[in-house]
Amino acid sequence: MKEIIMVKYGEIALKGINKKTFEDMLQNNIKRRLKLIGQFSYSRNQSTIYIEPLDDSDVNIAVEALKKVFGIGAIQKCAVFPKDFDIVANNLGEYLRDALEDASSFKVEARRADKTFPMNSPQIQQALGDAVLDAFPHLTVDVHNPEITVRLEIRDVGAYLSAERITGAGGIPVGSSGKALLMLSGGIDSPVAGYMMAKRGLVVDCIHYISPPYTSERALLKVQKLCEKMTDYCGDIMFYCVPFTVIQEALRDNCPEEYFTVLLRRMMMKIANIICERDKYGAIITGESLAQVASQTLPALYCTNAAAEFPVFRPVIGMDKIEITEIARKIGTFETSILPYEDCCTVFSPKHPRTKPHIGDILKAEEAYDFDSMINEAVSKTTVQRFKYGEETVFLD
């Protein structure tokens, strides 16, 4: 008996004439993940991708990887049978044993996509329920709250039996919306922001600012680790690392302390602008959440935003810390984010930052020094590194 994986589309099932573009992109994204696990063949039919292992690749490992691919609505492991109900009924015990042996209740669902099949859906359902009960007499039927739902789908190419449907990551395929640059800090919020925009189809690359000796090697390792972890959902990530020390020192020496935070954010934005322009990014993503800290009040965001020339996406702007943390835990970045290494944002942070800065004052403060040439120099000294999906190169405890 052959076991395959059925991948059902999420939102892209609703697309119109451009649906195929999204489907191709999803299938390519899936292929890129699964080629690290083994050899699989792919076919598509009725908003479903059928993935069949060609070697003894572990289907369960493949399912784990697929759970993190955007564009997938649901994942089902299925046994493939010929379209003959008796064959299914006589052989289902073996396939369902793992799922049903220790369960106490179940229900069945049947779907007949192939209308030439001699039984209709209610008939299949009835007969399937009987067959399951024959094989596992200890079970009881519970249509409202079953422990396991056994599904049988009669499709063009065969009968697909499964006992497990896993909710997919949702969203649309990464790459279908273009690419954007995420300001990755090392905190909890920015990886979540990146995850959320990747879910909307963006390729997410990351930009990070370092200020040695004020920030440590471990702080950088931490951010690189976050980047690496984000590849699970985002796919390969380009990591831009900007040397930021001299700019921060110049700010300290030339500008009023109370504006440090906002000025710092503006400098970061300006650098991101140049890189977006140069490397063809369509937007900047930040992990800002309204009123979370002094630089994220409405007036402060106004001032930061005024330095941006590209659209700035702030997907967590309306979320509170608990909601953001919940997602960070789910995507596996939380534990790295809370490692206690300082990033550059806390270097020279003012005792009493201005929570209601005025753009006029900020622009005036910026005039005090020739920051533009420093910004250009920082961009020219920026290093780029690629984090590839499935490769672990950063080790941090």
Positions in the binding site for other proteins (CB under 8 A): 58, 60-61, 64, 102, 216-218, 221, 392, 395-397
CA–CA distances in Å: residue 250 to residues 207, 321, 348: 21, 32, 11
CB nearer to other proteins: pick between 58 and 94: 58
Provide the total of helices (H) and of strands (E) in the chain, helices listed first: 13, 15
Burial status of residue 387 (CB atoms within 10 A of its CB: 0-12, 13-18, 19 or more): buried
CB nearer to other proteins: pick between 221 and 234: 221
CB nearer to other proteins: pick between 86 and 101: 101
CB nearer to other proteins: pick between 134 and 217: 217
Residues 248 and 344: their CA atoms lie apart, in Å, by 9
Q: Is the Cβ–Cβ distance between 363 and 230 less than 8 Å?
A: no
- Could you identify the residue written with the tokens 């699970």? 232
CA-nearest of 200, 142, 149, 195 to 171 is 200
CB nearer to other proteins: pick between 57 and 355: 57
Quote the least distance from Cβ 243 to other proteins, whole Å.
Answer: 18
Quote the least distance from Cβ 395 to other proteins, whole Å.
Answer: 4
Burial 294-309 (b: 16+ CB within 10 A, else e): bbbbeebbebbbebbe
Quote the least distance from Cβ 347 to other proteins, whole Å.
Answer: 16
CB nearer to other proteins: pick between 68 and 112: 68
In this structure, the number of other CB atoms found within 10 A of the CB of residue 326 comes to 12
Question: Cα 191 to chain center, whole Å?
Answer: 9
Quote the least distance from Cβ 217 to other proteins, whole Å.
Answer: 6
Quote the least distance from Cβ 59 to other proteins, whole Å.
Answer: 11
Quote the least distance from Cβ 341 to other proteins, whole Å.
Answer: 9
CB nearer to other proteins: pick between 298 and 396: 396
State both tokens at 234: 């985002």
Quote the least distance from Cβ 58 to other proteins, whole Å.
Answer: 6
Burial 48-60 (b: 16+ CB within 10 A, else e): bbbbbbeeeeebe
Residue type for position 120: N
CA-nearest of 231, 218, 230 to 287 is 230
CB nearer to other proteins: pick between 64 and 249: 64
Quote the least distance from Cβ 12 to other proteins, whole Å.
Answer: 28
